[in-house]
Each structure stands twice: as C-alpha cells, then as structure tokens.
Amino acid sequence: MTCNRLHLALALALAALALVVAVPVAALAQHPARHVEEQAVYEIAAQLRCVVCQNLSVADSPSEMALQMRGVIKERLATGERPDQVVRYFVDKYGDWILLAPPRRGFSLIVWIFPFVAVVVGLGIVALVLRRWTRRPRPSTTQPIDADMSERIRRELEA
C-alpha cells in the first residue's frame, strides 16, 4: 500500500509540474515574444514628449519616466502592436500634448498654417514698403533762381 501512495503522490506531483509548465507555454503560444529592434523603439520614442522634461523627446530624455515609457513601447511592440497603435496608446493616455509634432487637424492646424501665412504677410509688407519707397518723389536740390539773384551772380563773376 505504501508503494501505491508513493506512486499516487509522484503522479500528482508530475501532473502539477506539467500544469505549471503548460500554462506559460500556452501563454507564449498566444503572445509569442518578438525581438524588438531598438531602432523601432527609438523612432516611436522620438515622436513622444517626455512628461518630466517637457522640452525633450522620450528618446532623448535621461529621466526615469522616459526610461519607463521606452520600456512600455518595447513591451507593446513585442506583443505585436504596430507603431501607430503604440503612439495611439500614449495619445489616449496623455492627450495630443504628448506628441512632439501636433496633429494636422482642428485647432492644432493653426500651428502648421501660421508660419506660411506669416511669411506671405511679411513679403507683402516688404513689397508695399519698397513700392512706396521707390515711387516717392525725390526732393529737388536746386531751387529756381529769380532774375535779380541771377544778375547779382553774373556781376560778381565778372568782377
């Protein structure tokens, strides 16, 4: 009987071990770990603003938060998400502010249009100023001399 209990305990231990090993293998089959290129992580991180040091991208920031965000990018790419889905995740979490280049829609469209409008207006002002400057009559440096003055000058030159 002792041998049967030993066999039963051994069978249960093997079944438990098989169950423990089978669950992670099944999870890996559903989400195979992919090798993620650092260049892909960098390209996505370069599009995002660091929430700690707001004037740097996540790719260039040395902060701990940027390091964590790069880790999230790498994890999401490893699970098979496309780069635009990863960026969308951060936009959903932080809003359009997280993007270094604002989207070309809505109120943000002003940021894209304003520089071109400013250049056109500036060139128009320069053209207007130049046109007025070149059309302005030049003041005459010679004044008409009346007859008495002309006679006086003639007499002084003869003397």
Q: Is residue 123 part of a domain?
A: no
Q: Is residue 15 part of a domain?
A: no
Residue written as tokens 């938060």? 65
Q: Is residue 4 part of a domain?
A: no
Instruction: Quote the radius of gyration of the chain (alpha carbons, Å).
Output: 40
Q: Is residue 43 part of a domain?
A: yes
Q: Which two structure tokens, joined as six digits, stand for 131?
A: 């046109």
Q: Which two structure tokens, joined as six digits, stand for 57?
A: 């991208």
Q: Is residue 75 part of a domain?
A: yes
What pLDDT digit, counting tens, does each position of 76-133 carry? 999 999 999 999 999 999 888 888 887 776 766 777 778 888 899 999 999 888 888 8
| Cα separations in angstroms, 110 against 48, 49, 55, 64, 104 | 20, 20, 20, 33, 9
Position 3 pLDDT exceeds 70:
no
Q: Is residue 159 part of a domain?
A: no
Count of structural domains, the chain: 1
CB 104 within 8 A of CB 113: no
Q: What is the CATH number of the domain that holds 46?
A: 1.10.8.640
Running DSSP on this structure, what letter comes out for residue 102?
Answer: -
User: In terms of residue numbers, what domain contains 41?
Assistant: 26-107
Q: Is residue 70 part of a domain?
A: yes
